[in-house]
């Protein structure tokens, strides 16, 4: 039963479907930091008013079935565009997510209509069933789907344009099956066709899930490869330092025999002052022994910090360090090392482009109240940021190290910041 004569009921039903669909979209979408929340709330409320008015006018002048044929243009498309303005996700990915939820909402709405018709229910029972259905759908998505979805697709940046065409095509096909030549409740065969199409949609989405899983696994493999390469580089640096230390120690041990012989000869002569002068002069030899730095207790992270800070020092970059790294790290030390390495590498490359007198770098780490790592270096000018707060290079591309830092922060709910103020560029990560 459609209750086509009750326009108030039809508008209320459409408003519930609209609100439920928007809530489902929001439950699996990440949003950027909103400065003017009141403005966005006003825009959303204004759009809700537009939905009510446009729905009423279309149903009043053209009928409910005509509204079902055009709601994609009057409601669905503007809703996706609205979310694009407040989400930090790529447009194609947001279209895929939004269209998928619209498709799911179509089947929820159709199922509620069929159940209410089978039970010979009235307008009130239809509204209550619809409210309950969307409430359960939103709760399920928020508590069970959101985390899995955001984690599984956070590293996938390509391929969304093609994938977004799939739910869009299914929406058009579902609407055609459900409303042409008349409403599906008036054609039992169309109901069977609609749910057979639903089975095909489930199979296709299962294939999409497998594809996304393979893509995510491949990207994780690349990330693990990057971690292993960093560990190998750190081992090579440590071996080089150990070889230098061993070589220097052999030289000093060889010289030590001559020093002791000289001291013994002076002692036999009884010249105490000569012994003291000789010992004072030869004490400077100990300063030539390289002293390994110990920045933290974790060997992987310590090797990373030691290696990159040593590289910066060799490159003539004046270092100002204040590192307080906790013994227990909040995340895996290998992943954290990759993040810190990218930050330091970015800073070293930037400093090498500066005149020799301006090459300096500040590296700070605090462990209270949260672990925060910050790298700062001189910078002249301004850096434009995209809507995710990432710097835009002049060539229009995106620095791979910047992408890696952002990906690390997204996986571990960390906060990152790229800023350029007072001729100083800062990269900050807080866990």
Q: For 185-231, what is each residue's pLDDT tens digit?
A: 888 888 898 899 999 999 998 888 888 777 777 776 776 676 666 65
26-46 average pLDDT score:
70
Kindly report whether the global pTM for this prediction surpasses the value 0.85: no
Average pLDDT over every residue of 404-428: 84
**Are 303 and 283 in the same domain?**
no
Domain range enclosing 360: 299-430
The pLDDT value recorded for residue 386 is: 67
> How large a percentage of the chain has pLDDT more than 90?
10
Report if residue 424 sits inside a domain.
yes
DSSP 145: I
- Using DSSP, state whether 90 is helix, strand or coil: coil
Residue 246 lies in a domain: yes
For the segment 167-191, the average pLDDT, to the nearest whole number, is: 86
Does some domain include residue 216?
no
Mean pLDDT value across residues 19-46: 74
Question: Which of 267, 288, 309 is at the close of a domain?
Answer: 288
Contact 347, 396 (CB under 8 A): no
Q: Give the model confidence (pLDDT) of 251-298 as tens digits.
A: 666 666 666 677 677 677 776 777 666 666 665 555 555 555 678 888
Residues 324 and 273 placed together within one structural domain of the fold: no
Structure confidence at residue 398 (pLDDT): 47
Together in a domain, 31 and 168 = yes
User: Which residues have CB under 8 Å from 20's CB, separation 6+?
Assistant: 105, 108, 130, 133, 134, 135, 137, 138
Query: How many domains would you assign to the chain?
Result: 3
At residue 15, does pLDDT exceed 50?
yes
- Assign 1 to helix, strand or coil: coil
Tell which of 163, 186, 209 closes a domain.
186
Choose the weakest-confidence range: 9-13, 119-123, 152-156, 351-355: 152-156
Confidence class for position 375, pLDDT limits 50, 70, 90: very high
Residue 158 lies in a domain: yes
pLDDT for 130: 92
Q: Are residues 243 and 103 in the same domain?
A: no
* Residue 323 in this model has a pLDDT that exceeds 80: yes
Q: Residue 429: enclosing H or E segment and its boundaries?
A: strand 424-430
Asked if the model's pLDDT at residue 8 lies above 80, the reply is yes
Residue 129 has pLDDT above 90, yes or no: yes
CA distances to 17, 24, 164, 222, 295 from 327, rounded to whole Å, are 52, 41, 45, 28, 11
32 has pLDDT over 70: no
Whether residue 165 is contained in a domain is answered as yes
pLDDT top residue among 424 and 395: 424
78 and 142 part of one domain: yes
Q: Is residue 293 part of a domain?
A: no
Query: Could you tell me if 71 and 127 lie in one domain?
Result: yes
pLDDT tops 60 at residue 338: yes
Classify residue 363: in a domain, yes or no: yes
Q: Kindly state whether residues 25 and 57 are assigned to the same domain.
A: yes
Residue 396 — pLDDT band, cuts 50, 70, 90? Answer: very low
More confident site: 385 or 80? 80
Q: What is the pLDDT of residue 104?
A: 92
pLDDT of residue 108: 93
179 and 277 fall within a common domain = no
In our burial notation (b when 16+ CB lie closer than 10 A, e otherwise), range 262-295 reads eeeebeeeeeeeebeeeeeeeeeeeeeeeeeeeb
Question: Are 255 and 346 part of one and the same domain?
Answer: no
Residues 25 and 55 in one domain: yes
Mean pLDDT of 20-36: 73
Query: Which of 265, 288, 311 lies at the terminal end of a domain, its last residue?
Result: 288
Asked whether residue 98 carries a pLDDT value surpassing 80, the answer given is: yes
Q: Which CATH number goes with the domain that contains 391?
A: 3.30.565.10
Please report the pLDDT score of residue 397 as a whole number. 42
Same domain assignment for residues 127 and 229:
no
Query: Do 141 and 274 belong together in one domain?
Result: no
Does 211 map to a domain? no
- Model pLDDT, residue 218: 76
Query: Positive or negative CA dihedral for 177, 180, 184, 189?
Result: negative
Strand partners, 366: 372
395, pLDDT greater than 50: no
């Amino acid at each position: 039963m459609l209750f086509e004569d009750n326009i108030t009921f039809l508008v209320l039903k459409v408003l519930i479907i609209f609100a439920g669909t928007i809530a489902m979209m929001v439950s699996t979408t990440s949003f950027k930091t909103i400065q003017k929340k009141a403005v966005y709330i006003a825009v959303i409320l204004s759009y809700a008013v537009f939905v009510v008015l446009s729905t009423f006018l279309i149903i009043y002048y053209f009928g409910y079935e005509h509204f079902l044929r055009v709601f994609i243009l009057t409601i669905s498309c503007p809703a996706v565009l609205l979310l694009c303005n407040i989400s930090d996700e790529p447009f194609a990915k947001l279209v895929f997510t939004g269209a998928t939820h619209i498709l799911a909402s179509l089947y929820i709405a159709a199922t509620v209509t069929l159940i209410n018709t089978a039970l010979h229910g009235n307008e009130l029972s239809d509204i209550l069933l619809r409210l309950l259905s969307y409430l359960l759908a939103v709760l399920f998505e928020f508590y069970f789907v959101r985390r899995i979805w955001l984690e599984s697709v956070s590293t996938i940046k390509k391929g969304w344009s093609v994938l977004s065409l799939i739910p869009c095509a299914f929406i058009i096909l579902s609407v055609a099956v459900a409303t042409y030549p008349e409403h599906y409740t008036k054609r039992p065969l169309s109901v069977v066709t609609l749910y057979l199409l639903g089975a095909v949609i489930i199979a296709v989405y299962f294939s999409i899930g497998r594809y996304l899983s393979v893509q995510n696994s491949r990207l994780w493999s690349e990330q693990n490869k990057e971690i292993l390469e960093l560990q190998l580089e750190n081992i090579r640096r440590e071996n080089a330092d150990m070889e230098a230390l061993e070589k220097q120690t052999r030289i000093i041990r060889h010289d030590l025999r001559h020093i002791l012989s000289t001291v013994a000869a002076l002692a036999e002569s009884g010249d105490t002052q000569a012994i003291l002068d000789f010992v004072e002069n030869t004490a400077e030899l100990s300063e030539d022994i390289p002293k390994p730095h110990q920045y933290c207790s974790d060997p992987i992270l310590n090797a990373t910090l030691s290696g990159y800070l040593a590289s910066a020092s060799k490159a003539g970059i004046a270092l100002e360090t204040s590192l307080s790294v906790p013994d227990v790290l909040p995340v895996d030390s290998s992943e954290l090392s990759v993040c810190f390495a990218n930050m330091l590498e970015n800073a070293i490359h930037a400093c090498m482009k500066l005149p020799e007198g301006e090459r300096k770098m500040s590296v700070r780490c605090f462990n209270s109240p949260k672990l925060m790592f910050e790298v700062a270096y001189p910078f002249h000018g301004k850096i434009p940021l995209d809507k995710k707060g990432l710097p835009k290079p002049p060539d229009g591309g995106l620095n791979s190290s910047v992408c890696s830092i952002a990906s690390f922060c997204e996986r571990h709910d960390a906060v990152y910041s790229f800023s350029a103020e007072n001729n100083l560029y800062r990269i900050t990560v807080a866990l």
